[in-house]
Amino acid sequence: MDLFSFPPLSATLDAAYALLMGMASLLHPVTGAASAAVAVVILTLLVRTMLIPAGIAQARAEQTRARLAPRLQALQRRYTHDRERLQRETMKLYADERASPFAGCAPVLLQIPVVGVIYALFLHTSVEGHPNGLLAEQLAGVPLGTSVIGLAGTGSWSWTAAAVFGVLILLIAAVAEVSRRMLRPSAAAPSMPGGEGMLRLVGVLHYGTAVAAVFVPLAAGIYLLVTATWTLVQRIVLRRRFPVGPVTG
């Protein structure tokens, strides 16, 4: 069942569609055929700006977890065979520090409906009973509703499409590599259990966005690129404001 078939969600999606296409119309005299793609970039920046408070809350929660990690590990060693006592002592530690082990969950949950509406806008071929005109708009002659998998499945590749998607995916991968290098926690950091094995897994996960860009429409790929870049810059800024420990280059 499509959640966006329910009237409130459908109306929300239609409002987001009207906003995006309205921006594209305003931009058209300046950006021409790329106006819809530019509107996607602007909408993404607006959404990420709205979510800055959630990012700050997550950074604070991450800093708290890093600060308490050595004491939590000590409790785990002390009460290895007494899970009930470990839970009580853990909750007492958080209470004494006036913190919550779930502090980072609320910001993530708040982002889900916003991001869900944006992705639905890129994936639905119709909105509130009318065609999703965004997906027919183009960037460098490539419709925003096409995807790498879709083009491969229909055999309708062109050099232009290959170039557009190639550049997009390479840029996303480049941002992922910068994120991996600049934000990689030290293996000795107490907040990173599992040592080097966990660090390697985290490094691989950075490239998940580049993999996703192969499967989603071009419009969603643009959103992923802008979001990944914004997230990188935001995390660098917030990591300096709320340091969590050693970071290797």
Asked if the structure places residue 247 within a domain, the reply is: no
Amino acid at 143: P
Asked if the structure places residue 15 within a domain, the reply is: yes
Residue 86: which pLDDT band, with cuts at 50, 70 and 90? confident
Domain extent for 174: 3-241
Spell out the residues 6+ positions from residue 86 whose beta carbon is closer than 8 angstroms to its own.
75, 76, 79, 80
| Structural domain total, the chain | 1
* CA separation for the pair 165, 178 (Å, rounded): 20
Q: Given this model, what pLDDT does residue 127 score?
A: 86
Question: How high does pLDDT run on average in the chain?
Answer: 83
Asked if the structure places residue 155 within a domain, the reply is: yes
5-27 pLDDT tens trace: 777 888 888 999 999 999 999 99
Asked if the structure places residue 246 within a domain, the reply is: no
pLDDT at 215 over 80: yes
- Tell me the H-state helices in 79-158: 83-96, 105-123, 148-154
Q: Answer with the residue of higher pLDDT: 38 or 239.
A: 38
Asked if the structure places residue 59 within a domain, the reply is: yes
Asked if the structure places residue 249 within a domain, the reply is: no
pLDDT at 28 over 60: yes
Q: Answer with the residue of higher pLDDT: 172 or 82.
A: 172
The SS3 of residue 55 is helix
Asked if the structure places residue 56 within a domain, the reply is: yes
pLDDT at 198 over 60: no
173-182 pLDDT tens trace: 999 889 888 7
Asked if the structure places residue 94 within a domain, the reply is: yes
Q: Are 40 and 222 in contact (CB under 8 A)?
A: yes
Q: Answer with the residue of higher pLDDT: 119 or 109.
A: 119
pLDDT at 217 over 80: yes
Q: Answer with the residue of higher pLDDT: 14 or 193.
A: 14
Percentages (nearest 5) of helix, strand, coil residues in the chain: 75, 5, 20
Q: Apex CA 65: angle with CA 44 and CA 245, to 5°?
A: 85
Q: Given this model, what pLDDT does residue 223 score?
A: 93
Identify the weakest region by mean pLDDT among 18-22, 70-74, 142-146, 196-200: 196-200
